[in-house]
Every structure is written in C-alpha cells, then in structure tokens.
Amino acid sequence: MSKNYGATAQSVIEHLGGSNNVIAVTHCMTRLRFVVKDESLINVTALKTIKGVMGVVHNSDKCQVIIGNTVSYVFKEVTALCNLNEESSNTAKVKLTPKVIGAKILDALIGTMSPLIPAIIGGSMVKLLGMILLMAGVFEKTDPTLIILNTIGDGAFFFLPIMVAASASIKFKTNMSLAIAIAGVLVHPAFIDLMAQAAKGVETDFFGIPITAVKYTYTVIPVLCMTWVLSYIERWVDSITPAVTKNFLKPMLIVLISAPIAIVIIGPVGIWIGTAISALVYTVHDTLGWLAVAIMGAIWPLLVLTGMHRVFTPTIIQTIAETGREGMVMPSEIGANLSLGGSSLAVAYKTKNSELRQTSLAAAASAILAGISEPALYGVAVRLKTPLIASVISGFICGALAGMAGLFSHSMAAPGLFTSVQFFDVNNPMSIVWVFAIMALSIVLSFALTLIIGFKDIPEDDAEVKSKEDKNTAEPTDIATKPTTV
C-alpha cells in the first residue's frame, strides 16, 4: 500500500466522478464504502489501477474500494476532499423492484451496523478478559472487580438499541436525539419491569391498546425499523407544524407519535423479524451440524468478495448478546481467514517476484495474526486464482473440524491468533487445544495445497503491468470482468 494517502484519495474521488458526485462515505476494517449521485460517472477500470487499491465492488450507486489495513488513513483524506453536506438536486428516482428493495435493506443493515462493530468487539473482548481471569482462578464470580469488568464488557450489548438508534439516525437522515430518546424508552428500567410483568400474564395496555411482552435489550432489528419509520414521521410532522411552534410542538408530536408506534407495532414486529432471521440461520446449523460450518468456511471468501458477509452481522451480534456465544459463522472464519494467510505464505515462499513476495508476506501476517483477510483475498488469492481454490478447500476441511469440535465464539472479532481467546470455553478446556490445532492446520494445509496446485508467477520485469491487469480482472462481481491470464 502506498503511503501517499492523499494521492490515493484524490485518484479514488476523481474516478468516482469527483467530490460533488460523492453523497456519503464510510469505512470498515479494509474498505471505503461510497454512495454516489450518478453511478454512470464511476470508472471501475480506472479505480482498480490506482496504486494502493486492492479491488472494487460496484453495485448501483454503491461502490466499495478495498484499501486494506491502512483504510483509515485514506478515509481521512477522502473526507477532507469531499463536501458531504451538499444535497443532491438531480438524483434520479429508482424504480422499486425486489432486487432494489433487497439492496436497500442490505445497505441499511451494513450502513447502520458497521460503525458499531468496534464497540461490540471492544466490549466482548473485555468480557473475555473477565472469563480468562475467572478460568485462571484470579477472581471468584462474586468478586466486585470481576462484576465491574463484566459490566464494562456488557455495556455495549445491553444498550445496543441506543447505539443502533444513533447509527441508524445518521443512515436515515433523521434527528439523532429523538431516535435515541425513543430507543431509551424501550430499555428504560420502568418499561423493562412492565414487560416482565406482561410476560407473567399481567394484562398490559396503552390507552386500551394491548402491548406485547417483549424484551428489547440486546436487540438490533426493532430499533433499526423504528428509526426508519421515525425519519418519515419527522418529515410529516415538520410539514404540518407552524414555524412559530416548531421548537416545542414538533419534537413533542414526534415523540408522542413515534414512541407508542414503536411500543405497540414496530417493536414486536422487529422482534419477530429478528427472531425469524436467527431461527432460519441456526436451523440450518442444527440440521446440518458440522457440515453447515464447513460450507460456511468454504464460501466465506466468496461472501467477502461480494460484501455479502455483512448480512450476518446483526444475527451474530444479537446471538452473542442474548446467549453469550455464536457457533456457526464465527467458527467457520477460523479456517477461512487463516487459510488465506497460509496460501499467501506459500506464494511468498515460491514467487520470484520481490514485489509480490512483499505483498504476500504482509497479507499473510494480517490474515493470520489479526484475522483481517481482505489484503490476502484481493492482493494475492483473487489475483492469482489458484491460492483462492486452495483456501476454499482448506476452509471447508477446517470448518468441518471446528463444527465437529463444537467451537463457539464469545466475540465477533475477526478470528486470528491475536483474537483466538474468543473461542476459549470456561466449561471446556479442550476448546483451547482445538482452536490452536485448527489454526495451525489451516495455515499448513492451505500452504501445501497452494504449492501442490501451483500458480502462474508474475515475471519481475512485468510486475507493474501485470499488477494493473490483475486488478482490472480481480473482481468476479463486475459484469465487465474478463478472465485473468494469471
């Protein structure tokens, strides 16, 4: 990755149609996620040739530019160059189709949940620290220090609806304080007690309207749906209130309308939707057992390629929040991530190209140590193709072993050596042995398979030219992609 982040940012914006064409930009661990006004101005081919860009995923007015571990530096330069407060005056209306609706729902989920992931990971890792101290006998369960540590770790989960409301208000362009206030109703101690009484059969109503007994702490979907509806309620109330009364009448009406709707309708429906999604995912797991983890381990790199891996984020977060662990998606990532690291090591070992060797070593370190696999995926596996095949095979085998071992994750940190502690189970000391054994097998197996299958090396003299050609053909999600010659 080039250290000239300003030049990289300038080139990216230029090939997205200029700063005036950028409506919004966010970033995750490795990607810049853009929303543009006019998608016809996006030059995907040119974007892929920029030094420092590993790949591009383009879907309608959304464009993901894969940077790698230095994405935060490029993001700062991008935000400095773009005027993101300017409203589009000529955005074309898109006809609603099932595909467009699905894309918008996915975009809402990703756009809302991605900013929350650091807090979720931070909290879960603190809880894991408490678990390790308990396993080591440093503290008893009733020790105040351990209780405080667990409370620190649980804060992000217990008040997850508040965090979702804040993040979703930005995504849906509605008032953040109002969204937080309404979400706060759902986690207010008095309301929690009322719902506990309703769950015991005590009749509960609001102005005669029955209220379904629901627990909203640790949930995602209800408040996400509520904030989306709030964005429309706010605009409607704004249109009917006189200017002279907007400073007090408008917020009062918004809260009085939105909060009861959330309690009576949207909250229970959101719970049903979230429960249905989780039930579907984990019914597959319960039905197929270890095979479900194996399949997920094989297809995970392909999901990351298309950005579809973020579909599982709300389910993982809510499952960990409610049960304390997740046993299908996260265990599958052990083999998927470290296999990409192992195949990158094999490329670094065998290649005669010094630039490719350097890229492969850095990508392998990122995937194996930190679980950040996209540098290995885009910089090596997709670029050379056969290492991706080796990683898929290894991911399937290691995912099967993770499923058979019954591994569970207590966090949603990307699985790697540094985060291996998230799979330790206080009630199953053998889980530690299984985790490290599967990690070691992932690296060794994918390394060996890559060498056995082989790959076409990039000649040293043609490195720069080949790098650009490979980037132009690296994304299988682009319709215009041509078969690579590497």
Domain stop point among 58, 87, 116: 87
Three-class secondary structure assignment of 350-395: HCCCHHHHHHHHHHHHHHHHHCCCHHHHHHHHHHHCHHHHHHHHHH
Phi and psi angles of residue 30, each rounded to the nearest 5 degrees, phi first = -135, -5
Whether residues 315 and 462 share a domain: the answer is: yes
Whether residues 170 and 265 share a domain: the answer is: yes
Beta bridge partners of 33: 26, 64
Whether residues 323 and 455 share a domain: the answer is: yes
Position 17 in a domain: yes
- For residue 324, the tally of other CB atoms under 10 A from its CB is 14
Given the residues 28, 63, 82, 225, the one annotated as active site? 28
Position 133 in a domain: no
Whether residues 231 and 307 share a domain: the answer is: no
Position 279 in a domain: no
pLDDT at 94 (0 to 100): 55
Position 108 in a domain: no
pLDDT at 13 (0 to 100): 92
Position 131 in a domain: no
Position 132 in a domain: no
Contact 294, 238 (CB under 8 A): no
Whether residues 265 and 304 share a domain: the answer is: no
Whether residues 259 and 293 share a domain: the answer is: no
Q: Domain with 23 in it: what CATH number?
A: 3.30.1360.60
Total number of domains in the chain: 3
Q: What tokens appear for 309 in the block?
A: 């891996």
pLDDT at 298 (0 to 100): 94
63 is catalytic: no
- Cα angle 458-463-469, degrees, rounded to a multiple of 5: 85
Residue numbers of the domain that contains 267:
159-273
Q: What tokens appear for 99 in the block?
A: 């595909």
pLDDT at 184 (0 to 100): 93
In order, the DSSP letters of 233-284 are HHHHHHHHS-GGGTTTHHHHHHHHHHHHHIIIIIHHHHHHHHHHHHHHHHHH
Domain stop point among 244, 273, 302: 273
Whether residues 181 and 50 share a domain: the answer is: no
pLDDT at 344 (0 to 100): 95
Contact 128, 121 (CB under 8 A): no
Can you say how many angstroms the Cα of residue 436 is from the centroid of all Cα atoms in its chain?
A: 25
Across the beta sheet with 31-36, the strand order is: 22-27, 31-36, 62-66, 55-59
- For residue 362, the tally of other CB atoms under 10 A from its CB is 19
Query: What is the rounded CA–CA span in Å between residue 349 and residue 343?
Result: 10
Whether residues 302 and 442 share a domain: the answer is: yes
Whether residues 240 and 344 share a domain: the answer is: no
Query: What is the rounded CA–CA span in Å between residue 15 and residue 6?
Result: 14
pLDDT along the chain (486 residues), means of 10: 77 90 81 86 88 82 82 86 54 59 75 82 84 84 90 87 92 92 92 89 87 85 92 92 86 93 90 81 86 94 80 81 86 94 95 89 90 86 91 96 93 87 86 94 96 87 50 42 35
Position 117 in a domain: no
Whether residues 269 and 299 share a domain: the answer is: no
pLDDT at 458 (0 to 100): 82
Whether residues 318 and 268 share a domain: the answer is: no
Domain stop point among 226, 249, 273: 273
Whether residues 461 and 382 share a domain: the answer is: yes
Query: What is the rounded CA–CA span in Å between residue 301 and residue 304?
Result: 5
Position 480 in a domain: no
